[in-house]
Amino acid sequence: MYGERVTSVDRPDAPPDPQTVPVPPTAPAPDGVHAVAGAPDPGSANWPAGVAYAPVEPDRFTRLVLRLHARAPRWAVPLAALGCVGLGMAYALLSDPTHSDPDARPTCLLKLTTGLDCPGCGGTRALWYLLHGDLPAAARHHFLFVFSVPFLAYLFVTWAGNRAFGWRLPELRLNPKVLGGFLAFWLAFSVLRNLPWAPFTALYV
């Protein structure tokens, strides 16, 4: 009747609340089976019966690199990095970029096609002058490179010394704000050196 209160006995059955229904524990994954994002749970009813995903084995080249890395002495990687740096210095000394033609190979593709200085233009010439002890000329061609050399050298010495000899030198910690500020300054320098007005024309190389 109208106005009568409906009791729990008269109310129709409602679907059970999923938060109050106990969930049976799932069985652990068998040995050698790894969980994959988006894949069904091995303990659930949706997991196909008799299917097991074996771990991916590394290829031959990866296994070779891992074996060489495990057998190599501690000083091998720093020595290889030092050799790469030495090759770059030798190229700068032998090529003499201060007297080479603008279109000599290898050249900067941006400068060759547009005539603009890229963010790294002048770095090889700055290295050549730096190796000859002419600091003003090196800074004239790329003073940001000259400014970065002492920090890069110290970072390499601390890393190589720790790796090869176990040295515990004070580490140079650069927070993200410092790195972001340096990159922003480098970007501004790359724009200003291409402006056709004085005094920015002095930055063009």
Q: Where are the domains of the chain?
A: 74-203
More confident residue, 112 or 204: 204
> Per residue in 188-198, pLDDT tens?
999 999 999 88
Question: What is the pLDDT at residue 147?
Answer: 93
Question: What is the pLDDT at residue 9?
Answer: 47
Rg, the chain, Cα only: 32
Per-residue DSSP letter, 205: -
Question: What is the pLDDT at residue 180?
Answer: 93
- Please state at what angle helix 176-192 crosses helix 135-165, rounded to 10 degrees: 150
Q: Please, are residues 112 and 200 in contact by the beta-carbon 8 Å criterion?
A: no
Residue 181, token pair as written in the block: 């500020």
For residues 24-48, give the mean pLDDT: 52
Burial bucket for residue 92 (CB in 10 Å: 0-12, 13-18, 19+): buried
More confident residue, 22 or 77: 77
Alpha-carbon distance of 53 to 31, in angstroms, equals 10
Question: What is the pLDDT at residue 66?
Answer: 85
- Helix ranges (H only) for the chain are 60-71, 76-95, 109-114, 123-131, 135-165, 176-192
